[in-house]
Structure 1
Amino acid sequence: MDKIKNEGVQKRKKGLETTRQILDAAADLFARNGYDGVSVREIAEKAGIKESSLYNHFKSKSEILETLFNEFIRFVPETRPSDEELDTMLMIMEPEEVFKSILFHVGKSVCGTLSNTAMIIQYEKFRNPRAAEMYYKYVVNEPANYYERLINKMIERKMVKPVDARTIAEQYNYISIVLTKEYIMAQYGLADIHSVVGYMIKTLKFFCGLMKNDIGEHHEKKEEI
């Protein structure tokens, strides 16, 4: 009985590993060649399996893409500190330090299949309604909502002056979208990563400067605490 149980566990583990290989292979190919430019046979070859075996895991190429999109929805929020973590950071960090921490947190998280899926969304949004929906909902609006919450937290704590948090968040995020694409290009060896990161830091400094309190105001608040 134990032998049969162990065999079942190993079979499920192997199945999950193969599913992961298929998704990783497809994401890489879709990001480099476009969804329409990739065949199921090519995905299977890159994953190291037979084409017929791939269909034991996914019914179609479109199901693979949808699975990648669902993973993106689930994992992208985890690339940034949670709201609870932000509350802790705001107790000990200046605004610029908080934005830098978020930047480096995202940088460590955006790699591999997740970054490939981001590029797929960017490319496919012009011809795939699902990709267009993903782009506006999870690349444009969801991060802007995150930064709006952060800026409002800073305003409430008098860490920055009262500003239009929504507008600042949207503008910062739009520039971040462009720079994130360049960061992913750098991972492919198509851009200089140091230049991209340098410009990201220059951008966050600029936006923090727009929100900066009058000199000494925030430091006086900290001393009172």
Structure 2
Amino acid sequence: METIHEVGSFLDTSGVVIHNRNKNSILHVAIDLFSQSGFNAVSIRDITREVGIKESSLYNHFKSKAVILETIYYNFRMDIAKIIPPLGSLDAIVSSMNIDVFLTQGFQNFLEHIQNPKMEKIWRIIYLEQVRDQEARAIYLNDIVDGICDCMAIVFEKYIALKQIQPHDPRMLSVSYQYPLFQMANIYVLRRLDGQGTTDVEQMMLAHIHFFLSMVRVK
């Protein structure tokens, strides 16, 4: 397996930027290894061998392998939060762009997130660990599915008030819009992880956005 020692800093679980080079390297290598083999199959020795440090040195930075995974999850949650508009800013955002632009921009934000090599690998970790790890399930169900659907229900309610879309139940609009995109996003992630093309998936996601708009836009 090719090991990629990426550059870039992570946050610790209190939200503080990690400046220590070895600590960042441990996280990069752990993401690479966990995404390939799963958390349980990777040992501390595997991680330190790839980083090029002694096993004892790792414990200067992390108390356990579980804390490494917790830190990875925290950084993923922070990145997911960036693609969900802050609730306090929604009025200004919605009033500044029509529904077509809002949904298309949201799609582009997702692509930027998932095309980050670090985030791609963490998506795979989330998939691998969902059965074993309650925290991985919580991230997918709460941060991703519920977090995005809750936000979009508010967004659709605001666009209904602006008379840009038809007055249907905002929650049902959110579910009808997002659930197909979640499934297509899963396919997109798995295709990229396997080195396969994703152009057709991107086109289908855009087609879904346009189809949805054609069904709900005020004529």
Q: Name the amino acid aligned to 2:208.
A: T
CA distance 1:41–1:181, shift in 2 (3 Å): farther
CA distance 1:169–1:124, shift in 2 (3 Å): same
5+ residue gaps, structure 1: 1-12, 215-225
Q: Name the amino acid aligned to 1:139.
A: I
Give the 3-state SS of the residue equivalent to 2:61 in structure 1. coil
Q: Does 1:52 align with 2:52?
A: no
Partner residue in 1 for 2:68: 64
Asked whether the equivalents of residues 76 and 122 of structure 2 are also in contact (C-alpha less than 8 Å), the reply is yes
Q: Identify the range of structure 1 (151-160 vs 123-132) with the bigger mean alpha-carbon deviation.
A: 123-132
Separation in 2 of the partners of 1:54 and 1:40? 8
Partner residue in 1 for 2:37: 33
Root mean square deviation of aligned Cα: 2.3
Asked whether the equivalents of residues 29 and 38 of structure 1 are also in contact (C-alpha less than 8 Å), the reply is yes
Give the 3-state SS of the residue equivalent to 2:101 in structure 1. helix
Q: Name the amino acid aligned to 1:142.
A: G
Partner residue in 1 for 2:151: 146
Calculate the TM-score normalised by the size of structure 1: 0.79
Separation in 2 of the partners of 1:138 and 1:67? 16
Asked whether the equivalents of residues 81 and 105 of structure 1 are also in contact (C-alpha less than 8 Å), the reply is no
| Equivalent of residue 105 in structure 1, options 103, 109, 126 | 109
Calculate the TM-score normalised by the size of structure 2: 0.81
Question: Residue 142 of structure 1: CA displacement?
Answer: 0.6
Q: Name the amino acid aligned to 2:130.
A: K
Separation in 2 of the partners of 1:48 and 1:79? 35
Partner residue in 1 for 2:79: 75
Partner residue in 1 for 2:20: 16
Going by fraction, where is helix more abundant, 1 or 2? 1
Question: Residue 92 of structure 1: CA displacement?
Answer: 4.6
Separation in 2 of the partners of 1:123 and 1:14? 26
Give the 3-state SS of the residue equivalent to 2:218 in structure 1. coil
Asked whether the equivalents of residues 28 and 116 of structure 1 are also in contact (C-alpha less than 8 Å), the reply is yes
Separation in 1 of the partners of 2:207 and 2:77? 29
CA distance 1:39–1:142, shift in 2 (3 Å): same
Partner residue in 2 for 1:217: none
Question: Residue 27 of structure 1: CA displacement?
Answer: 1.6
CA distance 1:85–1:179, shift in 2 (3 Å): farther
CA distance 1:183–1:47, shift in 2 (3 Å): farther
| Equivalent of residue 173 in structure 2, options 168, 172, 185 | 168
Q: Name the amino acid aligned to 1:172.
A: Y
Asked whether the equivalents of residues 183 and 191 of structure 1 are also in contact (C-alpha less than 8 Å), the reply is no
Partner residue in 1 for 2:161: 156
Give the greater-gyration-radius structure (CA): 1
Q: Does 1:192 align with 2:201?
A: no
Q: Does 1:117 align with 2:122?
A: yes
Give the 3-state SS of the residue equivalent to 2:53 in structure 1. coil
| Equivalent of residue 95 in structure 2, options 91, 94, 97 | 91
Separation in 2 of the partners of 1:47 and 1:177? 35
Separation in 1 of the partners of 2:18 and 2:129? 31
Q: Percent identity?
A: 27
Partner residue in 1 for 2:142: 137
